[in-house]
Structure 1
């Protein structure tokens, strides 16, 4: 990378709140140099590509990314351009990685492996750095494109390359549980990863790789190639999502969770053996966290403590009061400053 571009890279890079997420922007780069700067950033953090833009001086882009064990997640927002990866660039540098692309804004056209596909918002696609590709990020009204990207080393997936090649350059189905979870992971990861320590980041990275592996294996009818640990992690991710979406239901318990996922209660408890808390304790903690958030939220002052308790699945306000005292050492009314009716005290 030439010296002036390296200088602008340093100027444009910031670390968000001291956490693992790094942000970059062309705002600090002179307009005439922004497209070259973006190309160098892509080469450094993803792969070498050729970029073209009809109005080079109008180009602008932002990027956020986080490096985790086994994968990298990035979000890009940029004005229209075309990107091409040529055989010459592949021979010069091939990181041997797969790219899972989630389109979040204007449509794009993607070409790879003799396949051309038009991708709209919400679409998922798979590319490989080992084959030529072209992407046309077009927009009639010059709106910015937004894409989320998961970068996976080829060796991180327990799936043979010849079968994976069948998926390159195609719009991938996302209606499966694994597809939905992967989309949620990609679209919300960088906003939720926060200040997790090394152990938490390793766990999150492993979950991301497992979700991608399970999703791709499902598309290839190759679930039998997944390790038992991967299948268990994906089941845990599905259970976590189910719990979060059903906390308001007072009937939510291990039996209901097991029935929804077509497994026995015993199997559910066995899957949770790697967690520091039981299924029931997980439900209770998350309900308490939602209640505590409501109690400290000024916009929720109109709700009584009793209403908040019922809102998050406690059968009676007194149940919230007991659990809250046990978890936080004070009654709910104390947290709210005594300003709201408890309905239980």
Structure 2
């Protein structure tokens, strides 16, 4: 399986693109999710046998890659196994500020509300996990980020705004179209958590903007969430190994939702507020959730940065609702990060 396969859908949506319609929330008004995104978890729509088996197989393979050495992982990845010294290491390293700019990404101001866990109705989760609840702007540890694959301030020579569908950028003399992809997430290096809130890949966004599927050579070279998360995780972070949790808020990807619903159904459990339902990675359910679009990105984050992080893996995952219970919100999914067990059987 190639690296590009595992992140191909719009993934989580606490909010959506500005072009969508608003809906109400206890603490304000947010845009509705866009295409293929749902507004509320439906436990009655289950993944098919085919999709369940495929996700579980992907998750099992990701567990194997996390537990193995960098060279062992590299030898099992299609794009790197033929190298003289196979390595799973990502080609994108460092804070990626210049690289993201080169490939058409624009850093935007992210409001503190998106890093305020009290206003996001997940106080009980933050307290249980020992995660600070406040944004950095209010003296807390949570740093919100937003990046867009278009320039909202683009103007033509006469000063008129240029719509995203007409915007282009050049890399090494080749012209590319922007995709209108958008990622909004929160990073907390102090307490060791990355929180995905709205994540729409260039491939997914381009299909919506261009009215067709994009060819791989039309998309930015830097597009995988594992790389984008890494670039922001290392910024001003003196303790990069302190990654403890990956958290997807209000999951809106239909495929992931159906996988979570089947996991709950097979366990005979109903989704609930925290502490929710936990699945270990020795179960098909745990592997299937890890192998979903919302889980695989985090496994790759660990697989591709063994040199900096050491040997870490995801041993379990919890599915839950926010503190309001069955409100407008989607389901949340939390992945736990721990040091990998002795590699004696995973050379």
TM-score of the aligned structures, taking structure 1 as reference length: 0.24
Higher helix share: 1
Larger radius of gyration: 1
